Chain A
């Protein structure tokens, strides 16, 4: 059982919901990323998603696009992120998933990517532009290495697709709360509740909700129906506002604490 599965099992026995925090690795630099991850763990974050910056992040809104640009600006790449995770692992066992677009993984080599991820203590991988049907090789390699492959369900996903997606997903199922890019705040639509329940009826795997989750109130209302809440852009926006501030880690962690408190 890997760290993500173990965490969800533990939360389930405690009847608690997971808080999943996303940040872009290397924004503003990898040393800060490492400190943030350790701080987040103390602040009650259950799983950390580390974004691998990509030049053309087409599922992301302006906030994460800008973070990716900052990270690429200081030459962050997959190899350096693996090294950072390895350093984090000496001090923490918080579950870590890499969130990346497919091309950097494809270019690195899927088998090599998975084995290096394993070696460095990465627990899962989330690739928004790789639907399960194009992910056969990656899924096979990940399964062998006990690395979770998280897949998405969207408001537009049909029942038939949903069945296939929840079957393919490991670790957890990522439910996209609205049709749009990351960081769009359209408000949490009522129709989502029925769809999330439908997903939960199809699988024992945890179903977590992300995209546009911004406020403590959002966190509270989603936690009522889902197994976990994912917050990305709202945290990344805090990091953006604290660029150059020596208290960045403290300020961002304090913000994260206002969200985890809701669970």
Chain B
């Protein structure tokens, strides 16, 4: 049976846990989403935007010097960082804004952590002539000031969120409150494989081009499938996008890399799959970080895009059935991963992406024979220069 089931469940995870005001809209959205999957005109338009506007297909680049450095790993990088706006996020926002148009919505809202999803949403909204409001934690607006300027230049209204931890989870609360109040004309573009059904499956679908292309490209270069596919996991959209095409290839090992922040043995991390409990946040049941009273804990990661106490429900499911493995990388390790890729390959990845790169050094020590790996290079690092600056040379 293909998952999710018709109620949006991946095993015990997923579902629709939202105020009643949104339920009818989610039913409508699901119907429209199903209908566009087999609608040739929609698919043609979407694929045309992906190709002509966003820059798909992206390259699958053989990282020769990095591979030599890691000796046992032959590393291919799926270059989502080369897409328009600098990250994989644009794949999904183009798809969702097209759906919004089809549903007759005139106003787009989004939450953003690192600002990449906000920029990608503001971009798609500008492209299609729709008004756009982006909610962003006040703390994140400081960390990612460049992206705030980009969104504003694109015509979006960026609203600082000062409640709670002033990061991604609070931005999402605020976006949902806006959505409940303006459900008639407003479409909520969720940036990750999280939220209530049908968002996790819809975002996975729009991001699945990453894995489909990578699989085909790898087969044509290596005449076989890779041993490993690796991606960073915050909410988990780039990882789901890469993994989905490989889920039936049982011999391909899928590894998601969570943010361990200051370390998994501290309380300062963003690794719900490693250290969380099952719970409900932002519309779905999944692993999350909470207290014994069920209050949501504040996550920590140097990468704003991973700084979230929850994770997409399908990742919880893939972990539970053992199909994917989830590991973690600390802030410090991520920074050295970033430096490694910059100096071995001349590519500065986003801090989020640097978590996946950093894990390669651990993976290289784990394998006992020469192995091949595809890493999702989900975004570029320009946006992070301010946060990286204090660490350069240290």
Contact = CB atoms under 8 A, between A and B. Distances in A.
Answer whether A and B are interacting partners: yes
B21 A103 contact: no
Contacts of A29: none
A37 interface: no
A134 B24 contact: no
A156 B21 contact: yes
B30 interface: no
A131 B173 contact: no
Given A155-B21, A156-B183, A180-B180, A133 B7 contact: yes
B19 A72 contact: no
A184 interface: yes
Contact of A154 (B21, B170, B285): B21
Most buried by A among B19, B164, B176: B19
Interface in A137-165: 151-158, 161, 165
B209 to A, nearest CB: 31
Given A105-B294, A161-B24, A56 B7 contact: no
A153 B290 contact: no
A55 B16 contact: no
Contacts of B27: 158
A54 interface: yes
Nearest to A133: B7
Interface in B4-54: 7, 15-25, 27
Interface residues of B, number: 40
Interface stretch (B198-206, B276-284, B334-342): B276-284
Nearest to A104: B294
A255 interface: no
Most buried by B among A55, A105, A131: A55
Contact of A131 (B23, B278, B295): B23
Contact of A54 (B176, B181, B295): B295
A154 B18 CA distance: 12
B293 interface: yes
A103 B163 contact: no
Interface string B173-187: 100110011111000
A188 interface: no
A130 interface: yes
**Contact residues on A (Cβ < 8 Å of other chain), bracket:** 35 or more
Contact of A134 (B17, B19, B282): B17
Given A102-B17, A129-B17, A181-B177, A161 B23 contact: yes
Contacts of A242: none
A55 B296 CA distance: 6
Contacts of A130: 17
Contacts of A57: 173
Contacts of B295: 54-55, 72, 103-104
Given A103-B280, A107-B279, A181-B180, A151 B294 contact: no
Interface stretch (A41-49, A58-66, A231-239): A58-66
Interface in A104-145: 104-108, 128-131, 133-134
A77 B294 CA distance: 9
Contact of B177 (A61, A78, A106): A61
A95 B139 CA distance: 43
A168 B381 CA distance: 51
Nearest to B277: A107
Contacts of B170: 56
Nearest to A59: B19
B169 interface: yes
A58 B19 CA distance: 9
Contacts of A181: 177, 180-181
B292 interface: yes
A122 B18 CA distance: 24
A56 B280 CA distance: 11
Given A78-B293, A179-B184, A128 B24 contact: no
Contacts of B164: 55-56
Interface string A54-90: 1111110100010000001000011000000000000
B281 to A, nearest CB: 7
23 contacts: A56-B281, A56-B296, A58-B177, A59-B19, A72-B295, A78-B293, A103-B279, A103-B280, A103-B281, A106-B285, A107-B294, A129-B17, A129-B18, A129-B283, A130-B17, A131-B20, A134-B16, A156-B23, A176-B21, A179-B21, A179-B181, A180-B181, A181-B177
Given A55-B296, A154-B20, 15 more contacts: A56-B281, A58-B176, A65-B163, A78-B293, A102-B280, A104-B294, A106-B285, A108-B294, A154-B19, A157-B23, A161-B23, A165-B20, A176-B20, A176-B21, A179-B181
Closest CB pairs A-B (n = 6): A107-B294, A104-B294, A152-B20, A180-B181, A154-B21, A55-B295
Interface of B: 7, 15-25, 27, 163-164, 169-170, 173, 176-177, 180-184, 277-283, 285, 288, 290, 292-296
